[in-house]
Amino acid sequence: MNRAAALLSGGLDSAVAAAWALGAGFDVAALTVDYGQRHRAELEAARAVASHLGISDHRFVGVDLRAFGGSALTDDVAVPRDRCEIGEDIPATYVPARNTVLLALLTALAEVAGAHRLILGANVQDYSGYPDCRPAYLRAFAQVARLGTRAGAEGAEFAVLAPLLHLSKAGIIRLGASLGVDFGLTMSCYDPPAAGVHCGRCDACALRRRGFAEAGLADPTSYAQPPAQPAVS
């Protein structure tokens, strides 16, 4: 069976990546990780997205990265808002070693599920700011999965697939629309003010809003307020 294990955060990118995997013919097992994130609304969004995509094997795992802090998403640090430049530096929303932790958990699920393809929604606008979204990192993690698992020792060739890696946010949205993704179910905001509502001013909201505009598609997102100024990558 052509199986894959996909990280499903509940955000727009992970939803499109999972939909891509299904469209590519993979039988997908999805993993959502509650790591103590500020934007916990994405956990319920992940559940809704998995149901919408027809993914029946959907696991939830908890690991509290608040024990370390060091990020606006896991510590008492303000979420950046209304930034003119996005992707020029490592932002305060970078969570130390998050993708390493999440991909390790995904590898465990993959090994149990008999899947040798690890799917995540990393893309160019992430890896310009987040070191654990860079292509070199993703290639290196595939080697870790091969060397550190029983399946790998027995000859399995693990690969980390990031189908959105070189797409703009508009390109991701167009791809998701072509795959039938219901973007209204997704949650991108780093600090949502209410259930199902995006703040409209954090980096994730700015990129999401601009992505829909550049894609020429209607944005189903509920924003609490518009950004003070347009974001530029």
DSSP secondary structure, 19-55, as one string: HHHHHTT-EEEEEEEE---S-THHHHHHHHHHHHHT-
> What pLDDT is recorded for position 90?
86
In this predicted structure, what is the pLDDT of residue 88? 63
- pLDDT for the residue numbered 233: 43
171-199: string of b/e by CB count within 10 Å (b at 16+)? bbbbbbbeeebebebbbbbbbbeeeeebb
Q: How many CB atoms lie within 10 A of CB 144?
A: 16
Q: Is the pTM above the cut of 0.95?
A: no
CA 38/CA 146 separation, integer angstroms: 33
Residue 189 and residue 204 in contact, taking contact as beta carbons nearer than 8 Å? yes
Q: Do the beta carbons of residue 95 and residue 73 sit within 8 Å?
A: yes
- Give the integer Cα–Cα distance in Å for 219 and 208: 9
3-state secondary structure of 193: coil
- pLDDT computed for residue 227 by the predictor: 59
pLDDT at 231: 46
The predicted pLDDT at position 82 comes to: 83
Ordered domains of the chain (ranges, CATH):
3-215 (3.40.50.620)
In whole angstroms, how far apart are CA 184 and each of 11, 130, 187?
10, 26, 8
Q: What is the mean pLDDT of each run of 10 residues along the chain (233 residues)?
A: 93 98 98 96 97 98 96 94 74 93 98 97 76 92 96 95 95 98 97 94 93 96 75 45
Strands 27-34 and 57-62: parallel
Report pLDDT for 131: 87
Full DSSP string of 142-175: HHHHHHSSHHHHTT---EEE-TTTT--HHHHHHH
Q: What's the pLDDT at 230? A: 46
How many angstroms separate the Cα of 62 from the Cα of each of 59, 178, 188, 220? 10, 33, 20, 30
